Chains A and B, each alone.
Chain A
């Protein structure tokens, strides 16, 4: 009797998780295995994939070094720039803002992140393009300023696009901060500045780490911002992948790059978590 009930319970459980398990297997696990297999294959003469076992694709990676360098330099640089802008905002929201308006102000930060990145990025094409700021500058006599299609434009787009995602985790960690610690610090004669560096900043580091890691990881696979604001000159790995799969149809090489990208993401994630454990002294890091 007992056993029958247990079997029934297990069947129900299996039935509940089966569709999601099937989905994850067919559209996540198997595709990754396929991609790994493709990475060791060859490009068919007419494009696409041809079975083989060769490391040639990985040996070819240096031909796309520019995309890797741009990504590995601009993604962390963008994340740090984002941090510089985000920290004061998070600090203000958590510690200085009027509690009555706090929720509204926080929501106002989040709303843009939830709207189309494509549209928000394209807005900057508009502003930085020849009819935008350069047009205004020309009116006051500053001619021939090029803003669009530069690394600076890509960095600006990154900060703009990912700022909300940086503000939120820092805000959360600052909001949890025990105010009594700041009072104690002041009572012990610390000036506000040394209270900030001695108490507030260290206690907000888990949030800072989460924000930097999240933004960096997402940026590693970025396509739209470099494409629209970098104008094909500031290429990221994502742009190289689209090019290889949809234009030159070199699937094995594209797969090798994608596999390398995933490896980079995993390494960044592991390093971030390791640093986070060290600074926070805890194994709790919420990355999702």
Chain B
């Protein structure tokens, strides 16, 4: 049994280790290790297409995760005060945002946005005073909007779980002592849910940063890091791609570990 389990761990990690190892390969060959070198990292970071894709990904992930953290937390706080039916509708929609395959979310967003653009752009052109009316199109905005959807659902779910485990008595004590609702929120509720909000933010950031399929549909002419990596892989595996892949792995790993740590702190504090 132990041998079996060990081999599963080997199965899980061997491919990852291999990619990391070969990112340090001196040679171009993908099948034999010809010496240690960090040259491919230099090459990757000197690649302007790659760097701009990375910047796009970071900007999109940060914006959609930040929006999600704010609006998702607000929704989690508000949902508790809603009637059972309205709350159930919210729960179902949030669940759908997570469970519906990314391919479908991407397509639905694309189809809807293009339909909206085809109405708005001509209308804009007729009322625009100048010669060059702004054209709405796919790009950063559409990726952020689509990523914001599942990110918001993620944050709302995590924060909601935390709120459910909060002690009502402290909140009641606070208002008995004549604190305004806002003061109670600022001094009692917020400090307790903050780690969950941060964890939600980091998870959302990672999801957005790693997402390929939704961005593939709604990115228009913009390139994110996964789109760039995907396109390069199709042209052939190179050590440079291994270097990028390693950087992507390390980045998502760090974010995830931080998020997990924040969620664990929440558990130990609530005495679970």
Contact = CB atoms under 8 A, between A and B. Distances in A.
A32 B108 contact: yes
Given A120-B15, A124-B15, A245 B108 contact: no
A221 B104 contact: yes
B210 A115 contact: yes
A220 B82 CA distance: 34
Contact of A16 (B74, B157, B226): B74
Given A17-B82, A135-B31, A23 B98 contact: no
Contact of B104 (A96, A125, A258): A258
B149 A24 contact: yes
Interface stretch (A104-112, A172-180, A182-190, A275-283): A104-112
A1 interface: no
Interface in B41-93: 70-72, 74-75, 77-79, 81-82, 90, 93
B108 A34 contact: yes
Contacts of B108: 28, 31-32, 34-35, 258
Given A120-B15, A126-B237, A221 B103 contact: yes
Contact of A115 (B1, B97, B252): B252
Interface string B136-155: 00000000011011001000
Interface string A148-185: 00000000000010011000000000000000000000
Nearest to A22: B71
Contacts of B217: 242, 245-246
A73 B105 CA distance: 23
Interface string B243-262: 00100110011001100100
Interface in B90-112: 90, 93-105, 107-112
Contacts of A237: 103
A24 B97 contact: yes
B178 interface: no
Contacts, number: 229
Interface string B1-26: 11011001101110110110010000
Interface residues of B, number: 77
B213 interface: yes
A70 to B, nearest CB: 15
Q: Interface SS of chain B: helix, strand, loop or mixed?
A: helix
B152 A20 contact: yes
Interface in A93-133: 93, 96, 107-109, 111-112, 114-120, 122-127, 129, 131-132
A29 interface: yes
A29 B97 CA distance: 10
B82 A241 contact: no
Given A23-B152, A24-B149, A127-B18, A262 B252 contact: no
A124 B226 CA distance: 17
A288 B99 CA distance: 7
A34 B226 contact: no
A31 B112 contact: yes
B166 interface: no
Contacts of A245: 107, 110, 217
A65 interface: no
A127 B10 CA distance: 14
A27 B148 contact: yes
Nearest to A126: B237
Given A122-B237, A123-B18, A221 B102 contact: yes
A227 to B, nearest CB: 8
Interface string B141-181: 00001101100100011000000000000000000000000
A75 B2 CA distance: 29
Nearest to B154: A288
A233 interface: no
A224 B229 CA distance: 12
A29 B77 contact: no
Nearest to A39: B111
Contacts of A111: 253, 256-257
B75 to A, nearest CB: 4
A100 B2 CA distance: 16
20 contacts: A16-B77, A17-B78, A17-B79, A23-B149, A24-B97, A26-B145, A28-B149, A34-B111, A49-B111, A49-B115, A111-B256, A116-B226, A118-B229, A123-B18, A126-B19, A163-B8, A223-B103, A241-B103, A255-B107, A258-B103
Given A92-B4, A96-B1, A228-B233, 11 more contacts: A16-B75, A17-B82, A34-B108, A89-B4, A111-B253, A120-B15, A122-B19, A131-B31, A242-B217, A246-B216, A258-B107
